[in-house]
Structure 1
């Protein structure tokens, strides 16, 4: 277990997650922003790429499991992506269509956002969203992100316009020599 929210557990994906991963990546409507459903080879490559990221980076898209049922309903996590001409940390989220419109993407992505700032010490977190994907834009906005630029990503032979959403890490108070300890403790010193 990497992260836990009120309804969800996030953990590394395994080979056992392939059926749930196929249900997401091989659904044409879910994969509209990727120019259509993945074939079996692409699903296998996706899982292997995530597992390589766990090993090499210490993170990647994690399985999102609905605690109530134990079902993997999506994936969400940080990855290194090339956005606006630099390599940055990005939060990705992709859920089984049967579980859309229940707040799971926002819940999981908010946990990832907080983890990236707290545990990884990042200064900024991005979300790359295809310019026609309104649902993903809404998740980014709910995370407190704003549009920082536009770029084109070529994927599967198609030029796809994207928006670069981002949020900066909250101030810790240390930037100006102020202690991050609670006010009561600062007065005791």
Structure 2
């Protein structure tokens, strides 16, 4: 009898271990699939809510480029700005949503009162500047676009550095660091073109 009960005990033990492993695996999967907690302070929220319309204006400026210039390098920059900043807009809106905040509006409707004199983020163009850009052509447009986009980028960098100092969310910090690195590089390139084309 003793010899016959050993296999049964072994099987019972093995089944118990397997069941425990399966439960652990299920628990791990649930924890892994759960979204990271998003904890934003006032600085994080202010940055995200302001940067969405700020980025939207940069995209609007970039979309003008193909109809106003023949320079392939400027067209390539405009495409890069459109792609990267649209992706960042989606990220910022998702962060606000995940934190239970109301997502900031995109597009020109989200820019009401966001010019330099309206309490908006630094570097944003006012209506008259946007109108001038939309009507300029050729070399005048090229230099005007570069000048405005440099100022626009400098404003984004300033706001990003502010949230890096005052924010608490690691997700927002990662985003801000990416904006600084990318836009500093683009400013350097635009300054080179400005000196060559002036």
Same fold (TM over 0.5): no
The structure whose residues are more often strand, as a share, is 1
Greater RCO (CA < 8 Å, at least 6 residues apart):
2
Superposition TM-score, scaled by structure 2 size: 0.30
Larger of the two Rg values belongs to structure? 2
